[in-house]
A and B are shown apart, each in its own frame.
Chain A
Amino acid sequence: MDTPSVRPGPSAPRARKANLYLAAGLVMTGLAVSLGVLGLFWTPYSTTAMSVPDRFAPPSLAHPFGTDNFGRDIFSRVMQGMGTTVCISVLVVLASAAAGVLLGAFTGYFGGLLDEVVMRFTDAVNGFPSILLALVMISLLGNGRQNLILSLSIVFVPSYVRIVRSEYLRLRDADYICRARLMGVNRLRVLFVHILPNILPVLSVSLLIGLNNAILAESGMSYLGIGIQPPEASLGNMLSDAQGYLQAAPWYALAPGLSIVWLVLGFSLFGEGIRRGGV
Chain B
Amino acid sequence: MIRIENLSVSFGDTAAVKNVTLELRDGEILGLVGESGCGKSVTALTLMGLCAREARMESGRICFDQEVLAEAGKPRDEALYRAYQGARMAMVFQEPMTSLNPTQRVGRQVEEVLKLHTKLNAQSRRQKVLETFEEVGLRETERVYQSFPHQLSGGMRQRVMIAMAVILRPRLLVADEPTTALDVTVQGQIVSLLQEINRRQDNAMLFITHDLDLARRLCHRIAVMKDGCVVEQGETGQIFTAPAQAYTRKLIEAAPSRMRQREIPSSGAAPQTPVVEVKNLSVFYQEGSNSLFSRGRRRAAVQGADFTVYQGESLGLVGESGCGKTSLSKALLGMNRMIEGQIIHHTVRPQMIFQDPYSSLNPAKTVGWLLQEPLRARGALDPGLAMTKGDMEAAAYEMLLRVGLEEQYFHRKPSQLSGGQRQRVSIAQALITQPGFLVADEPVSALDVTIQAQIMELLQKLRQEMKLSCLFISHDIHVVYQMCDRIMVMREGRIIETGRRSEIFRSPKEAYTRQLLCGS
A residues with a Cβ closer than 8 A to B are: 1-8, 11-12, 116, 120, 174-186, 189, 194, 197-198, 200
In the complex, A8 Cα to B16 Cα: how many Å? Answer: 10
Distance to closest chain A CB from B121 (angstroms):
37
B362-A8 in contact (CB<8A): no
Distance to closest chain B CB from A166 (angstroms):
15
A5-B16 in contact (CB<8A): yes
Residues of A within 8 A of B40 (CB): 2
A183-B433 in contact (CB<8A): yes
Partner pick for A175 among B39, B52, B360, B365, CB 8 A cutoff: B360
Residues of B within 8 A of A175 (CB): 354, 356, 359-360
Distance to closest chain A CB from B227 (angstroms):
12
In the complex, A177 Cα to B359 Cα: how many Å? Answer: 9
Residues of B within 8 A of A185 (CB): 373, 377, 380
In the complex, A182 Cα to B336 Cα: how many Å? Answer: 12
B363-A183 in contact (CB<8A): no
For residue B51, CB closer than 8 A to chain A, the reply is yes
B residues with a Cβ closer than 8 A to A are: 11-12, 14, 16, 35-37, 39-42, 45, 51-52, 54-55, 94, 176-177, 180, 208, 210, 291-292, 333, 335, 349-352, 354, 356, 359-365, 373-374, 377-378, 380-381, 429-430, 433, 446
B360-A4 in contact (CB<8A): no
Residues of A within 8 A of B51 (CB): 6
In the complex, A183 Cα to B51 Cα: how many Å? Answer: 45
Residues of B within 8 A of A197 (CB): 364-365
Distance to closest chain A CB from B94 (angstroms):
8
Q: Is the interface of B mostly helix, strand, loop or mixed?
A: loop
The 11 listed contacts between A and B (C-beta, < 8 Å) are A2-B36, A2-B208, A6-B52, A8-B11, A116-B292, A175-B356, A175-B359, A176-B361, A176-B363, A185-B373, A189-B377
The residue on A at minimum CB distance from B14 is A8
The residue on A at minimum CB distance from B291 is A116
Interface hub of B177, B335, B377 (most chain A Cβ within 10 A): B377
Given A183-B378, A184-B381, A186-B377, also A6-B356 (CB < 8 A): no
In the complex, A7 Cα to B41 Cα: how many Å? Answer: 12
Residues of A within 8 A of B429 (CB): 179
In the complex, A159 Cα to B360 Cα: how many Å? Answer: 29
The residue on A at minimum CB distance from B369 is A193
B177-A2 in contact (CB<8A): yes
Distance to closest chain B CB from A279 (angstroms):
14
Distance to closest chain B CB from A62 (angstroms):
53
Residues of A within 8 A of B362 (CB): 176-177, 180, 194, 198
Residues of B within 8 A of A189 (CB): 377
A198-B364 in contact (CB<8A): yes
Residues of B within 8 A of A2 (CB): 35-37, 40-41, 94, 177, 180, 208, 210
Given contacts A179-B430, A181-B335, 4 further A-B contacts (CB under 8 A): A6-B42, A175-B356, A184-B380, A186-B377
